[in-house]
Amino acid sequence: MNRSGVAAVMMAVRGTVFRWVSEDIISTHYLTNRFTLQTQQRCGFRKVAKKVEPKKGVAEEAEQNEILHKKGVAPAPDPPTPHVPTRSFGRLVKPFVFTIGFTGCSFGGAAIWQYESLKSRVQSYFDDVKTDWMEKIRPQKQGDLRKQMNQWWNSLSDGQKTVTGIIAANALVFCCWRVPSLQRSMVKYFTSNPSSKTLCWPMLLSTFSHYSLFHMAANMYVLWSFSSSIVNMMGKEQFIALYLSAGVISTFVSYASKTAMGRFGPSLGASGAIMAVLAAVCTKMPEAKLAIIFLPMYTFTAGNALKAIVALDATGLILGWRFFDHAAHLGGALFGIWYIIYGHELIWKKREPLVKMWHDFRTRGPPGPGPGGNGSI
């Protein structure tokens, strides 16, 4: 593993990579009202402040209601009480089913994707040979931007090419957070909260959501640094399945933790999925040497770094630290460890029946005339 690439782990492993609980950086009230406040400040005059009337006593309020009743006027209704989320584990059934189904579909789709990639590899080889021959006889253009982009893209490793799409998706969602008209939809679908009416799709979409530029930059830098190692180890298809599944699983663990503790609030960030990638690499190569990017003279093994990370998140979960979503980090890390030790054998190596079924479906031709379907009479 490239030391300079992996060295980023301890820069963003604590305090930057981790999934941020948005109670401290984002709230629904702030998102929906901050633009109104800015508009009022531009007007040049203020609204008259409302006078706060003193609270009436019980006897005085009863007397006023009696007078209103004699006059035939209905008393004013009591103000509605704010909704307080209850700790109902029954609400977790639907997210649990979604987690199992999405994980299965992710790895099933990755198996079919790998089959199609292998099937088209021969055709791609001949296409590449033809392209190289055409490039030799075609006159070269100096300063061609497209050519420079192609050279840059071809210089990337398979892992870096794979995570480029993930980084682009995160950047797009980050820009959507800056659009005032999208604020309500972003809070609804791109933050995960067990007390929300929308539970399932935010488990996936919040994995691509960052409200802070520093949060997104740190997460994407670590993902970029570990991309070559994880893709060389698993292949791009299996890596994508692991990344997406880890995002959903870590969010479900966060749901369960918040429901058990009664501490509800929105969360967002890719840290749960990135923790799974980090844990998978450290579990597969525990003796690899890592270093802090700003302190390269201090090195330590990947195994020891993983133990420290898990211990720190477990401590934060037990003590109730609320600045980070420690449950999501811990869920992602444990899933990454479990997948390397057991999951690869239980899931990925048993994909052959599904691939065979897909192969039969792809190669099965239309039935011919006749009872046998082969054209005979």
Q: Which of 206, 227, 267, 271 is catalytic?
A: 271
Return the half-sphere exposure (C-beta side, CA atoms, 13 A cut-off) of residue 71. Answer: 9
CA 305, CA 10: separation in Å to the nearest integer? 8
Return the half-sphere exposure (C-beta side, CA atoms, 13 A cut-off) of residue 35. Answer: 11
Contact present, 157 and 164 (Cβ < 8 Å): no
CA 67, CA 362: separation in Å to the nearest integer? 82
Q: Exposed (0-12), middle (13-18) or buried (19+): which is 376, by Cβ within 10 Å?
A: exposed
Cβ count within 10 A of residue 318: 9
Return the half-sphere exposure (C-beta side, CA atoms, 13 A cut-off) of residue 225. Answer: 26
Task: Name the one residue in this structure whose structure tokens are 């597969």.
Answer: 284
Torsion angle defined by CA atoms of residues 206, 227, 280 and 315, in that order, rounded to the nearest 10 degrees = -50
Q: Which of 329, 344, 359, 376 is catalytic?
A: 329
Active-site annotation holds for 212: no
CA 26, CA 300: separation in Å to the nearest integer? 36
Element (H, E) at 299: strand 295-301
Ranges of H-type helices in the chain: 3-6, 9-12, 28-42, 58-70, 93-119, 121-137, 145-155, 158-176, 183-189, 201-205, 213-234, 236-261, 271-284, 302-319, 326-338, 344-346, 352-363
Active-site annotation holds for 329: yes
- The separation between CA 50 and the C-alpha centre of its own chain, rounded to angstroms, equals 44
Cβ count within 10 A of residue 17: 28
- List the catalytic residues: 271, 329
